[in-house]
Structure 1
Amino acid sequence: MIIYKEISKLNKKFRLLNEEKILLGTDGSVTNILEILFEDICKVETINQKIVDNTNYREVILKVNDIPLVYAISKTPFKNIEEENLREEIKKDLLSADIPIGKIIRKYNLETRREIKSIGIAEVDERLKTLLKTNYNQLPKRTYNIIYKNKILMEITEIFAIRGKL
């Protein structure tokens, strides 16, 4: 997938904000971009979390200045983290604290890369509208993998609700 071409096609249909294009196409930390755009610390509010078959499923809202900006679902198969100490530390951070994934990666100085799997538009239901405090029926969405030591560390889907909040 050629990212800028996918974003260009999506822009023709949806008229993306420049900030949305950046968030959709970045292969870096979304947390960092949100902190730069909104000039304050990004916090996580966990909506739901469970471990099934040694895989952590986490549903969160990323907020800056208590403004909900991103809805995200992450899937972390712990078996893909070979180092036992690191696996337990990451598991502890995911389960016990509302820490953004970008900050967990930075905390443990992990050399990772992001592979974007898909970019599109999400239909936003009433539950998400309430969580994101938005009236938009459609919002930009992407799914990507975070790769660590050639294995999928996490799969993340994000829906961006920055329209009207900048």
Structure 2
Amino acid sequence: MHRYYGRGTSAPSSPPFRCDGFARTAEIVDATGERIVLSRLPPFLRALLVTDGTVTKILEAYFWEPVIVETLEQRFEDALEPVPWLGVEPGDSCLIRDAQLRGADSGRCFAEAFSMIRAQLIPPDFRQRLIDREIGIGVLIRDSGLESYREVLDVGLDRTASGETTVFRTYRIIIEHRPVILITEYFPLDLYR
């Protein structure tokens, strides 16, 4: 949850892909200041950054194998600080989930996703299926027939502990006009080159 503290306190200045799928001169930056012009990213990775669809299905179509959502960790946690992007206040309980999207045949990790969910704001049957880790969040929303809207809030570069460069996007899912789920997906850059 700490990765979202201090984020979203003010509107970002023209984040790439917030409203459009094309940003001619946009760049993304990592914590050290390294910049990559978005036009230099692999085309499929750019498509993943802008999609408002189910990433699992897009990965299956691109890599042409089933994708498994493997939950690495899931727990309830009380917020210590506000998370404005999700309307969370200190003391609010959220479901925290860390998952990998892996190829069922190859075993390759196509993405890692960290989610923060205001579980009390989603319908009980949806909430239980989410807690039971039945399927990924995007597939669950589609299968449940819930009307939702996804809004990309941030894109950037990050480094793993082993020094691998990842491209990430953070977006929120709005259900019934309320921000309910905040997700950051990390895509290993070398895999998509």
Q: TM-score range by the shorter chain?
A: 0.7 to 0.9
Question: Match for residue 58 of structure 1?
Answer: 97
Q: In the TM superposition, what is the alpha-carbon distance from 1:8 to its structure 2 partner?
A: 3.8
Q: Deviations over 1:68-100 (max 9, x none)?
A: 11111001102322xxxx2x2222222222511
Give the Cα–Cα distance (whole angstroms) in 2 for the partners of residues 80 and 29 of structure 1. 21
Give the Cα–Cα distance (whole angstroms) in 2 for the partners of residues 38 and 6 of structure 1. 27
Question: Match for residue 116 of structure 1?
Answer: 152
Question: Match for residue 70 of structure 1?
Answer: 111
Question: Match for residue 121 of structure 2?
Answer: 80
Give the Cα–Cα distance (whole angstroms) in 2 for the partners of residues 43 and 102 of structure 1. 13
Q: Note the aligned Cα RMSD (angstroms).
A: 2.3
CA 1:153 to 1:60, structure 2 compared with 1: closer, same or farther past 3 Å? same
Q: What one-letter code is carried by the residue in structure 1 that aligns with 2:41?
A: L
Correspondence 1:1-166 to 2 at 5 A: 1=14, 2-3=16-17, 4-5=22-23, 8-10=26-28, 11-12=36-37, 15-53=40-78, 54-64=93-103, 65=105, 66-81=107-122, 86=123, 88-126=124-162, 137-161=164-188, 163-164=190-191
Structure 1 residue runs of 5 or longer lacking an equivalent are 127-135
- TM-score, scaled to structure 2: 0.70
Give the Cα–Cα distance (whole angstroms) in 1 for the partners of residues 127 and 160 of structure 2. 30
Q: Deviations over 1:26-60 (max 9, x none)?
A: 12111121011011222111111101244110000
CA 1:111 to 1:7, structure 2 compared with 1: closer, same or farther past 3 Å? farther
Give the Cα–Cα distance (whole angstroms) in 1 for the partners of residues 136 and 187 of structure 2. 15
Q: What one-letter code is carried by the residue in structure 1 that aligns with 2:98?
A: E
Give the Cα–Cα distance (whole angstroms) in 1 for the partners of residues 45 and 152 of structure 2. 15
Structure 2 residue runs of 5 or longer lacking an equivalent are 1-13, 29-35, 79-92
Structure with bigger helix share is 1
The count of aligned residue pairs is 152
